[in-house]
Amino acid sequence: MSKVDKHILLRHHEIPDIANIKTYQADGGFETFRKVVSTKMDPVELKNIVHDSGLRGRGGAGFPTGLKWKFVDDNNWPHYLVVNADESEPGTFKDREIMEKNPWQFFEGIMVSAYAISANDIYIYLRGEFWELAHVLDEQIELMKKEGLLGKNLFGTEYELNIFTHLGAGAYICGEETALLESLEGKMGQPRVRPPFPPAVGLYAKPTVVNNVETLANVSLIVEKGANWYRKFGTEKSAGTKVFSLSGRVKNPGNYELPLGTPFRELIYEHGGGIIDDRPIKGIMAAGASSSIIVADDKALDTPMDYESVPDVGAQLGSASVIILDDTVDMSWLINKTTHFFKHESCGKCTPCREGAFWMTSLTERIRSKKGTMEDVILLEDVAKNIKGKTLCALGEFSTEAVLSAIERFPDDFDAQVNK
């Protein structure tokens, strides 16, 4: 039985040498995978365990993982598992740590998951910047082949499993699952029209599950220890732990794995050590650059970080990339940053995002350069509203979150910038 103390994912905190395959195996590693395959466990049973555990996607949308797996079309073969290791949301750096520090658990998680959806090939799509990491993963895959954990006739059964890494090349949009699939097929990373969703028509038009690294890294332990064990962590609707990437104006930025439902205050002040120079906190972005800016009042600080509670303070938990803003941060400066980001990353496929991101950027530029008027701020708000609800994928929507919340919740910052 694997030892689990406080961490389910960042277990290197307790077992520092866990990146060594021997250490991992000594802790019971790969036993779950071996058991699942060699006893020819019914994939349906596995899907049920994961469904019952309450595990939800850690890539941002929080979609129930087991449910997604159940949508896989069993009348169309082969199936693919694609691991989303694109990790490009500004402020997110958790998947990288999991893969670097606890690689074998990550692998075992994706291997059990592949078996659960009856896939024989796994593609790990890593952002191109993870070039060194990808090469380490490649070596680890070779090692697993030698160990008989990958390849044909695993453990004397019919089951075959292969893992391939695939490097992106610098495009945030490739984190969006259908853009990712396009990219993996050798095309420009532009999102597809949905439906059909990947579990019906995915990679090479075959049923495909796309899941985030963190999501899948939980799976082997969930299968080993059972759905109820996992439900002991977190809240009723947001089960399990979550790796929070804490960044911005805090003393100790970094990844912190905490049960879902932990209040912001604990993350920021206990784990993060509080604000740099002990200045007052001004705002929180819970989902990276794609977030609305939460006004960091007491209510917000006491809000539990889970999928249901964060909307109460006008935001989403998303990928839980918590960016801390203190009183030195001017929100007009901030949205100038985010609009630049989205302008740079808009794939250009749909009109409102392509044109709107550009327009919002030029307006924030004008405001920042003190050439703007209040009318420009109003126009900016209107442009953002006009983008909303009309884009092909969520990137366009994301690009408006910071803008709209900044103007609405921090009007003074704009007042100070414009000519009256």
Partner 1 sequence: MNALLEKHTKDIEDILKKYPEDQKRSAVMPLLYVAMRENGFVSKQDMYDIAEIIKVSATQVASIVGFYTLYHDKEGGKHRVQVCNDLPCALRGSGEYLEKLCENIGIKVGETTEDGLVSVESVMCLAGCDKAPMFQEQNPDGVFYHEDQTVESTLELIEQWRKQEAK
Partner 2 sequence: MTEVLEEKTTKLVNLTIDNLEITAPEGTLIVDAAKLAGIDIPVFCYHPKMEPVGMCRMCLVDVGMPMRDRDTGETIMEKGKPKIQFGRELQTGCTVSVSEGMVVVGYTEKVKKGRQDILEFLLSSHPLDCPICDKGGECPLQNLTIGYGSGESRFDLEEKQHLAKHVPLGDLIWLDRERCIQCARCTRFQDEIVDQPVIGFQNRGRKLQIVTFSEPGFDSYWSGNTSDICPVGALTTADFRFGARPWEMQASASVCNQCSVNCNITFNTRREAKSGGDLVIKRAMPRQNEEVNEVWLCDKGRFAYTSVKKDDRLTQPLIREGETLVETTWEKALDLVAEKAKEAGKEMVSLVGGRLSNEDYFNINQLTAHLGGKSLLNSEMAGGDLVSQVGLGTGSNIADMGQGDAILIVASDLEEEAPLFWLRVKQAAERGAEVIIANARETRADRFAKYKIRIAFGQETAVILSMAGAKEGIAVEFLADDAKVKAAAKVFSEANNAVIYYGSDGLGLSGSEELSKACAFLLSETKHTGRPNNGLVAVWNKANLQGAWDMGFRPSETLAADLKNAKFAYVVGNDPASKDILEKSLKDTDFVVVQDVRLSETAEIADVVLPAQVYTEREGTYTSAERRVQRFYPAVPAPEMTKPDYKITAKIAKRLDLSLEKIAASLVFLDLAEKVADYAELDYVRLAEVTEQWPIIGRDDLFYGGTSYQNTQGLGKQISPAIETETIKYEAFVPSVLSKKDEFLAVPVTTLYDRGSTMLSSEVLQPRIADPYVILNTADAEKLGVEAGVQISVKLNGKTANVTAKLDDSLAKGIVLVPRSMGIPISDPGSITIKAK
Q: Which residues bind ligand SF4 (CB under 6 A)?
A: 173, 190-191, 346-350, 353-354, 391-393, 395-396
Exposed, middle or buried, 412 (CB in 10 Å: 0-12/13-18/19+)? Answer: exposed
Beta-carbon contacts of residue 166 (< 8 Å; ≥ 6 apart) = 123, 124, 125, 126, 184
Strands (E), 77-200: 79-85, 119-126, 162-167
In this structure, are residues 120 and 162 in contact, taking their beta carbons and an 8 Å threshold?
A: yes
Task: Choose from ligand FMN, partner 2, ligand SF4, none: what does 136 bind? Cβ within 5-8 Å by kind.
Answer: none
68 vs 366, beta carbon nearer ligand FMN: 68
Residue 3 buriedness (CB in 10 A; 0-12 / 13-18 / 19+): exposed
Q: Is 226 in the site for partner 2 (CB under 8 A)?
A: no
60 binds, among partner 1, ligand SF4, ligand FMN, none (CB under 5 to 8 A by kind): ligand FMN
Using alpha carbons only, how large is the chain's radius of gyration in Å? 22
Query: Of 164-183, which residues contact ligand FMN (CB under 6 A)?
Result: 173, 175-177
Chain positions 368 to 397 lying near ligand FMN, rule: CB under 6 A, are 393-395
Q: Could you tell me if 227 and 52 are in contact, meaning their C-beta atoms sit under 8 angstroms apart?
A: yes
Work out whether 370 is an interface residue with partner 2 (CB under 8 A). Answer: no
User: Under the criterion CB under 8 A, does residue 152 sit at the interface with partner 1?
Assistant: no
The strands making up 254-259's β-sheet, listed across from edge to edge, are 254-259, 241-248, 321-326, 281-285, 293-295
| Segment near partner 1 (CB under 8 A); pick from 124-132, 144-152, 389-397, 406-414 | 124-132
Contacts (Cβ under 8 Å, ≥6 apart) of 264: 284, 286, 296, 300, 301, 302, 303, 305, 322
Our CB check for partner 2 shows the closer of 322 and 395 to be 395
For partner 1, what does the binding mask look like between residues 47 and 76, x meaning CB under 8 A? ------------------------------
Closest CA to 179 of 92, 86, 267, 112: 86
Does residue number 178 form part of the binding site for partner 1 (CB under 8 A)? no
Our CA dihedral for 320, 326, 330, 335, rounded to 10 degrees, sits at 0
Name the CA dihedral angle for 244, 245, 251, 252, rounded to a multiple of 10 degrees.
80
Our CB check for partner 2 shows the closer of 391 and 405 to be: 391
Closest CA to 386 of 350, 349, 341, 340: 350
Task: Please give the Cα distance from 59 to 85 (Å, whole number).
Answer: 9
Task: Decide if residue 398 touches partner 1 (CB under 8 A).
Answer: no
State how far the alpha carbon of 58 is from the alpha carbons of 87, 150, 161, 216, 243, in Å.
Answer: 11, 26, 24, 9, 9
Smallest gap from Cβ 365 to partner 2, in A, equals: 10
86 contributes a contact to ligand FMN by CB under 6 A: yes
Q: What residues form DSSP beta bridges with 245?
A: 255, 321
**Contact of residue 358 among partner 2, ligand FMN, ligand SF4, none (CB under 5-8 Å per partner type):** partner 2
135 binds partner 1 (CB under 8 A): yes
DSSP-assigned letter for residue 197 = P
Q: Which residue has the tokens 């002991």?
A: 232
8 A C-beta contact, residue 348 and residue 332: no
109 binds ligand FMN (CB under 6 A): no
- List the x/- string, 172-191, binding to partner 2 by CB under 8 A: -x--------------x---
* Residues of span 215-274 touching partner 1 by CB under 8 A: 245-249, 253-255
Instruction: Select from partner 1, partner 2, ligand SF4, none the partner in contact with residue 100, using the beta carbon and a kind-dependent cut-off of 5 to 8 Å.
Output: none
**What track of x and - describes contact with partner 2 for positions 337 through 366 (by CB under 8 A)?**
------xxxxxxxxxx-xxxxxx--x----
> Between residues 138 and 365, which has the closer beta carbon with respect to partner 2?
365
Give the footprint of partner 2 on this chain (CB under 8 A): 171, 173, 188, 193, 343-352, 354-359, 362, 379, 386, 389-392
Contacting positions for partner 1 (CB under 8 A):
87-93, 95-96, 127-132, 135, 164, 166-172, 183-189, 204, 245-249, 253-255, 288-289, 321, 323-325, 329, 334, 337-338, 341, 344-345, 347
